[in-house]
Structures are given as structure tokens and as C-alpha cells.
Structure 1
Amino acid sequence: MHRYKDFKFWKVSRSFCRDIYLLTSKFPEDEKYGLVSQLRRASVSIPSNIAEGCSRTSNKDFSRFLVIALGSCYEVETQLLLSYDLGFISSNDLEEHTETLISIVKMMSKFNSKLV
């Protein structure tokens, strides 16, 4: 088993999740059950799957949860692009959050490649 709190990619993804909550708090009220809900759910999924994977006894199981977390990263990226297209976020917000996602993806992918 691994200690998820020691992983930089878990720490960054946890902070990223908080940032998504703050960002989506400014979305239109009628998006509460649309993009707001989707972005929040997917961003929570990233650190949650990392943590859950750490509880697994095999590296193969842990790797599977990291792949799920990576999928959530790409889901969030798509939802951020849609949010930008709809005028809910600025190009600066899109760029900043996309850069963070890319950083998380790179760290997780590198770690995962050494895991299995």
C-alpha cells in the first residue's frame, strides 16, 4: 500500500479540486445541475481515485485507479473547454486550469509507468 498524502500529484489534484469549486461558484444558477455538477464531480474524482488506489494491495489495482483518475482529468478538461465556449470562464481561467491538469496528468502518468 502507498501513502496517498505523500504524492505530489494527489496534493496538486486536491488543490485543483478546491479551485474548481471556487471557479464554478461563479457559473450561472441554471448550470447548478449541469456543468457545475459535472465539473465538481469529475474534479473530486481525481484525488479520490488516487487515494482509493493507494488502499489496494497490488500495484496492478493501484494502476487501474490511476487510469480512472487520468480519465477524470480529461473529462474536466473537456468540461472546462465547454465552459469557455459558453462564456462561463475566461481564456485566462481556461489556460491556468488546463496547465494544472497537464501537470497532474504528467506526474501521474510518469508514476504509473514505473508502477507496473
Structure 2
Amino acid sequence: MAERATFTFFQLDVWRKSVQYAALIYEITAKFPKHEMYGIVSQLRRASVSISSNIAEGNSRNSKTEFCRFIEIAYGSLMETVSQLCISLEQNWIDQPTFDNCTVKAEEIARMLSGLRRSLKNK
């Protein structure tokens, strides 16, 4: 992705990791039962897309307080995906290694979001 001065969120590692996480969720949910297309598949996809979207939107705001609020929303969306992955594991729609891979990535993003929020509050 080419960087432009207008899109400064491109420079954020946490945004890039969140985009990759959403792509992973899309890949995984493509294998879910068709009857779940408008259920958990839709929920998981929307929640995963919400993470990077809120980082980008928050980054465009004019205040650190507002950016922090959008980071909190992104964090909540991330936790939503983890909860839905737990349900998916229980339903045998994903296997344990897939779940573990996703949660490792989610933990990394969670740490990055927390660190970004902390750094904004300390500025």
C-alpha cells in the first residue's frame, strides 16, 4: 500500500496488524457453514473490520482524547472477535490450532492498542 501524507494511519503498525487480522478472519470464516453467513460469520467479519477502521478514524481526529476513545472502541471490537472465536471453537467450526493462532495475533494487537493509548495519554 502506497503511503500518503493524508493517510497517516498507514504508518501505524497496529493498523497494519489489524488489517492482516481482518484478512485472516475473512479467510477462516469462508469455511464456516453457509447457514451462519448472516450470523456469526457476519458478526466476526464486521467486528474484525471495525478494529482497523476505528484506528484509522481515531487517527484522523484533532484531539488525543478522541483518538483514545476510538482506540478503546477498536479494543472492544477485538475482544468481540475473540469471544466469537471461542463460540466458533465450541461449535467445531474452527480447530484448536486455528483458534490459538488467532488469539496469539489478537493478544499482540491488544498489547499494541494498549501501548498506543498509554502513549497518547502521556503526551
Q: TM-score, normalised by structure 1?
A: 0.97
Q: Identity of aligned pairs, percent?
A: 41
Q: CA RMSD in A?
A: 1.2
Query: What amino acid is aligned across from residue 110 of structure 2 in structure 1?
Result: V
* 1:96 matched residue in structure 2: 101
Q: How far is the alpha carbon of 1:100 from its aligned partner?
A: 0.2
Segments of structure 2 that go 5 or more residues without pairing to the other structure are 1-5
Q: Which has the higher contact order (CA 8 A, sep 6+)?
A: 1
Select which of 64, 70, 78 maps to 1:65: 70
* 2:42 matched residue in structure 1: 37
Q: TM-score, normalised by structure 2?
A: 0.92
* 1:19 matched residue in structure 2: 24
Say yes or no: does 1:76 pair with 2:77: no
Q: Secondary structure at the match of 1:56?
A: coil
* 2:116 matched residue in structure 1: 111
Question: Deviating runs (4+, > 2 A) in structure 1?
Answer: none
Q: How many residues align?
A: 116
Query: What amino acid is aligned across from residue 32 of structure 1 in structure 2?
Result: M
Q: Secondary structure at the match of 2:93?
A: coil
Q: How far is the alpha carbon of 1:3 from its aligned partner?
A: 1.6
Query: What amino acid is aligned across from residue 46 of structure 1 in structure 2?
Result: I
Segments of structure 1 that go 5 or more residues without pairing to the other structure are none
